[in-house]
Amino acid sequence: MSTMRSLSDFGFIKNRVFEAIVSTYGADGMPNAAPMGVMIDDTHQLIIRPYTKSQTYRNVLLRGCAVVNLTSNPMIYYKTVFKDANPDSKIPFEWFERSHLVDAPKLKIVDVCIEAKMIKVEDFEKDRARVLCKVEKIDPIVRTYPRAYCRAPFAVIESIIHATRIKVFLSNDKKEKAEELIDLIKHYDALTRRVAPDSAYTKIIADILLRIEAWKARLKSE
C-alpha cells in the first residue's frame, strides 16, 4: 500500500492514543518489539512515547527509525511484553523480517506495518520521551472476513497494557495507582472467565496476576 495513503485511513485520529507494537533493531542487530501507545501529529507523522530506560528508546535513538505494527491479536501483545513467555525467553525470530525503507524489522504476523523515520525527540514525562516520526511506507492490510465480537481478547490487551504500568508504579512507590490498575485486571479476569472460560485468554490474565504478586513480593523482600 502506498505511503500516499493517509494514516487516518487506518483509523488514526489526532489527539487519541492507539495501541501498537513498535519493532526496532538493537546495536547487535537483534530485533526487538514492544507494545506502546502511539499518536499522530498529522496524516503522515506518528508519535511514539517510549520509556527512556526501554530497549525501544535506545534502539530508536541508535537507528533513527522504527516500525509501528498494528494488530488486535492479544497473544502478540502478551509475548512482546513478557519475553520470558517465549521459548528461550526471546520473541521468535521467525516473527520478524526486514523492512523495505527503514533500518528496523517488521512483524510478519500483524495486520499493518508502518515504516517510520525519526524526525526529533522531546521530553514528554519524567521517564518517557516523545518521538516524532515521518511515515515512509505502509504495508498492506491482511484482509480477512469480519469476525464476531468477543470481549475477551480486548480485556486481555487492556490487562497487558495495565500490567506494564503496574510494574513501573510499584518500582516507583506509587502503590495506590498500582492497586487501581490491579483491580481493573481482576475485573477483566472475571469478565474473561465468564465469556471465554478455559481459554488462552483466561490463562494469560491468570499469568499476569501471578506476575504482579511476584513483583510485589520481590519489592517487600528488598
Give pLDDT tens digits for 163-211.
999 998 998 889 999 999 999 999 999 999 999 999 999 999 999 999 9
**Angle subtended at Cα 82 by Cα 135 and Cα 170, rounded to the nearest 5 degrees:** 100
* pLDDT exceeds cutoff 70 at 1: no
Can you read off the three cell numbers belonging to residue 167?
510494574
**Which pTM value belongs to this model?**
0.87
State the residue range of the domain holding 111: 7-138
Domain shared by 117 and 164, yes or no: no
> Which CATH number do you get for residue 56?
2.30.110.10
CA–CA gap between residue 15 and residue 12 (Å, rounded): 9
Domain shared by 71 and 163, yes or no: no
Asked if the structure places residue 91 within a domain, the reply is yes
Q: How big, in percent rounded to 5, are the helix, strand and coil portions of the chain?
A: 40, 30, 30
| 3-class DSSP assignment, residue 146 | coil
121-157 pLDDT tens trace? 998 888 889 999 999 999 876 666 667 889 999 999 9
Asked if the structure places residue 2 within a domain, the reply is no
Asked if the structure places residue 90 within a domain, the reply is yes
CA–CA gap between residue 20 and residue 162 (Å, rounded): 14
Domain shared by 84 and 155, yes or no: no
Asked if the structure places residue 84 within a domain, the reply is yes
Domain shared by 129 and 162, yes or no: no
* pLDDT exceeds cutoff 80 at 2: no
66-125 pLDDT tens trace? 999 999 999 999 999 999 999 999 999 999 999 999 999 999 999 999 999 999 999 888
